[in-house]
Amino acid sequence: MGIELVKKVIESICEVVSRYVVGHEEDIKLIIVTLLNEGHVILYGPPGSAKTMTANIIAKALGLGFKRIQFTPDILPSDIIGAKVIDPKTGELRTVKGPIFTNILLADEINRGNPKSLSALLEAMQEGEVSIEGDIYELPKPFTVIATLNTIETQGIFPLPIAVLDRFMISLNFGYPDELGEEELLINNDILYGPKLRELRPVVSIEELMKASKELSKVSVIGDIVKYIVKFIRKLRSDERVYAGPSPRATQHLLKIAKGLAVMDGRDYVIPDDVKRVAKPVLRHRVVLKERSGDLMTDLRLAEGVIESVLSRIEPPR
């Protein structure tokens, strides 16, 4: 019953989102698996590739709260988490909560945000709570940040610190659809993106979502798979091309996403192929190379090449 529920939740949401977002079925499944693992997602790719729409539709399909923050160089932490203000009617101090108090937060163009504003996200992403002038406030559960990256422009762009990138469980490349996919968008544009989208109703309850999250954690992992993952990560860290490698948090995230792939394939146990399939999405944004191009997309592709190279040299368990 356990993995059947998890698989049903993933497939139900994916079926709905895939009606509107063409050509990203695998990516959508990985986003849902990340959400079930209480993780956070980076979506990168050119403008107009349905990154914002994907986040919004997933929230609608789950019946969850959704808010968007447009990051700019002058954004303040209070614009994200909120602040204490004096009520003009009563003269008393009251707390005005920011947009981070939601279930799915879209951090749009997160690399436009200044370092001070990005620091406001760290506590929320790791602890599920924020501090407003000394008082601690818990965030709603579940809570997931879906961030998009501006990969085109260079003006007003800040390099994301490793501490921020490491909080994201997975990164996904949202490119443009293929020729057939783009034709489908034009044919179904009025049907899908008009009233039908506004009328979208939840297909999975929060109770089912939370139960599926617990069941996913029960997927079994034998010791040989654990050793395989650890050996791979340690080889990647020590590779001569790598300046800074994945953290122990990344090792945990790799296993959690691999469990999701196992369930999608109808298994309650992880195999080496699960690890191989998720290695790039989980690790590419955490690998800092000694020789960098200065272009974000190029650097991500170079990191993928190193990951693939190291992975090919590790003998998987039989």
Percent of the chain with pLDDT over 90: 53
pTM of the model: 0.92
pLDDT > 90? residue 158: no
The predicted pLDDT at position 192 comes to 58
% of residues, the chain, pLDDT over 70: 97
Q: What sign has the CA pseudo-torsion 139, 83, 98, 32?
A: negative
Which of 64, 56, 61, 100 minimizes the C-alpha distance to 82?
100
Pairing of strands 93-97, 135-138: unpaired
Mean pLDDT over residues 31-59, rounded?
Answer: 90
Q: Which residue has the tokens 């599920």?
A: 128
**Taking residues 239-250, what's their average pLDDT?**
94
pLDDT exceeds cutoff 60 at 116: yes
More confident residue, 247 or 156: 247
**All domains of the chain in start order, with CATH:** 1-218 (3.40.50.300), 219-318 (1.10.8.80)
pLDDT at 261 over 90: yes
Instruction: List the end-to-end C-alpha distance of the chain, in Å, as a whole number.
Output: 28
DSSP string across 209-268: HHHHHHHHTT-B--HHHHHHHHHHHHHHHH-TTEEE---HHHHHHHHHHHHHHHHHTT-S
Confidence of residue 159 (pLDDT cuts 50, 70, 90): confident
**pLDDT tens-digit map of 167-201:** 999 999 988 888 887 787 777 766 555 556 677 88
pLDDT at position 181: 78
66 close to 60: Cβ distance less than 8 angstroms: yes
Dihedral of alpha carbons 62, 66, 72, 78, sign:
negative
| CB contact at 8 A, 310 and 235 | yes
Local confidence band at 251 (pLDDT 50, 70, 90 cut-offs): very high
* 237: CB partners within 8 A, 6+ apart: 245, 246
Predicted confidence (pLDDT) at residue 53 exceeds the cutoff of 90: no
Lowest mean pLDDT among 114-123, 169-178, 261-270: 114-123
pLDDT at 93 > cutoff 90: no
Rounded distance between C-alpha atoms, residue 232 and residue 228, angstroms:
6
If one compares 301 and 185, the residue with the highest pLDDT of the two is 301
* The pLDDT of residue 33 is above 80: yes
Give the pLDDT confidence score for residue 263 in this predicted structure: 93
CB atoms within 10 A of CB 76: 13
pLDDT, mean of residues 58-63 = 90
pLDDT on residue 152:
77
Stretch 243-265: mean pLDDT, rounded? 94
CA-only gyration radius of the chain, Å = 20
Pair 66, 106: CB distance under 8 Å: yes
- Please give the pLDDT value at position 52: 87
Q: Report pLDDT for 196.
A: 65
* DSSP 8-class letter at 94: E
Would you state the pLDDT for residue 91?
A: 76
- Judge whether residue 127 has pLDDT over 90: no
